[in-house]
Amino acid sequence: MHTDKVHQFEELLTIVTTTAGMELVEHKGNLSPFDNKKNNDVLSPLGGSPLTITHKFSRQEIYSKIKNAFEAHGLKHIPFEFAVAPTSMIGEQVQSANFFTFSQDTAENKTFVYPLISPSGSMSEGVSQEELLVVVVPDFKNIVWKQMSWMVIGAILFTILIFAAFFITLKALLKQKKLSEIKSDFINNMTHEFKTPLATISLAVDALKNEKVIQDRTKTEYFTGIIKEENKRMNKQVETILQAALLDRQQIQLNLETLHAHDLIGTAINNMKLPIEEKQGKLEINLNAANDLIVADEVHFTNVVNNLLDNAVKYSKDNLAIKLSTHNNNNQFRIKIEDNGLGMNKETLSRIFEKFYRAHTGNLHNVKGFGLGLSYVKKIVDAHHGRIKAESTLGKGSCFIIDMPQKK
């Protein structure tokens, strides 16, 4: 690209020199020995040769003509040096102040030459001495680079733009892919979550139709109990999904009150007692915080603790042991829930608070869920201006820490 530009610029300067030269040559045809000599400062040992450009024009006039040619070709700001010199050793020469210096360095500066030959048929043809117009453009390479700099900057900006557009598109594409994966995961989970209770209900209803069962009151109660339980379970699932959709659409409306956090934690623990017992797990509670007053929404805050305990039970191994403790720490009320369950790897840990995210656990465990629990927890903690942190080691267990602000 650079050499192309150099060639282009050389061609343009050749045209400029030619234009200036032709302009001078035009006058050469009209030169007569009777013209007044302008360049008295030019040495002319032989008394001056008539009919030459140097004879006819002053240095300033030659300069103006060349300058005009530069301007006419849009090169107003290009510096140049010039000389009009005879082709033979004898004769007058006109040159600009730094012409000699610049014409020496042909590596940095570019020289353009145009022969000033009298037009055929003119008065001076064959009589006038042949002269050359020499134009030197100093620092030629730099000028070309400067002219190219805008192109280069433009090209760089354009490349950046293309890359940016490419990355944005790629990101959008990946996001789209992730969304569609999440969607199909969600549908799979939901199908599973609803199919199981529906099947159980259907079986229980079939059993209830049985004559023997109808007559046996305890059996009837047992089956209706199952239907009620499964119904409750399905209701809970629907609630979870609706809640997530609601949280998405509107700001969380918190009903803030000053509450004793230990009371709320107590309620959550009560809710979880049964599932923990079912797994023959242990729950160790250390309510160490001396000040447990927090400003919170009773329902949402209890749900948060509930969700964390629920996960600790869901993602457990044998010998489930959960530790729940509270502390006061720098005007913060801290709740720590530790389990000795399956734990998570780094990738999972970094994404658990994303909506719909569930670890792809393969054969490791078969716990179903919507991946909404922790995203809800995070939203609620954020809405309370609190902070949640999760630590985990795969195979060893996880630890969730919530810090809630407290009044001084």
CA angle 186/190/194 to nearest 5° reads 175
Q: Judged by CB under 6 A, does residue 301 bind ligand ADP?
A: no
- Taking the least distance from each CB to ligand ADP, the nearer of 213 and 399 is 399
Pick the piece of the chain touching ligand ADP (CB under 6 A) from 100-108, 128-136, 178-186, 341-349. Answer: 341-349
- Taking the least distance from each CB to ligand ADP, the nearer of 21 and 371 is 371
Pick the piece of the chain touching ligand ADP (CB under 6 A) from 122-130, 229-237, 269-277, 373-381. Answer: 373-381
Residue from 398, 403, 404, 406 touching ligand ADP (CB under 6 A): that is: 398
Taking the chain, what is the end-to-end CA distance rounded to the nearest angstrom? 69
Pick the piece of the chain touching ligand ADP (CB under 6 A) from 14-22, 115-123, 223-231, 307-315. Answer: 307-315
Q: Inter-axis angle of helices 217-249 and 140-209, to 10 degrees?
A: 160
Q: Judged by CB under 6 A, does residue 312 bind ligand ADP?
A: yes
Pick the piece of the chain touching ligand ADP (CB under 6 A) from 34-42, 161-169, 266-274, 338-346. Answer: 338-346
Residue from 301, 371, 379, 402 touching ligand ADP (CB under 6 A): that is: 371
DSSP string, 115-170: EEPPPTTSTTTTTSPPEEEEEEETTHHHHHHHHHHHHHHHHHHHHHHHHHHHHHHH
Within positions 105 to 164, which residues make up the interface with ligand ADP, using CB under 6 A?
Answer: none
Q: How far apart are CB 373 and ligand ADP at their closest, in Å?
A: 3
Q: Judged by CB under 6 A, does residue 370 bind ligand ADP?
A: yes
Task: Write 359-362 long-range contacts (CB < 8 A, 24+).
Answer: none
Q: What is the largest CA-CA distance in the chain?
A: 147
Closest CA to 17 of 65, 85, 53: 65
Q: Judged by CB under 6 A, does residue 341 bind ligand ADP?
A: yes
Q: Judged by CB under 6 A, does residue 369 bind ligand ADP?
A: yes
- Taking the least distance from each CB to ligand ADP, the nearer of 143 and 320 is 320
Pick the piece of the chain touching ligand ADP (CB under 6 A) from 36-44, 255-263, 272-280, 367-375. Answer: 367-375
DSSP string, 156-205: HHHHHHHHHHHHHHHHHHHHHHHHHHHHHHHHHHHHHHHHHHHHHHHHHH
3-state SS assignment for residue 113: strand
- Taking the least distance from each CB to ligand ADP, the nearer of 259 and 394 is 394
CA angle 401/348/235 to nearest 5° reads 75
Tokens of 182: 């999440």
Where do contacts with ligand ADP occur on this chain (CB under 6 A)? 311-312, 314-315, 339, 341-344, 348, 352, 357-359, 369-375, 398
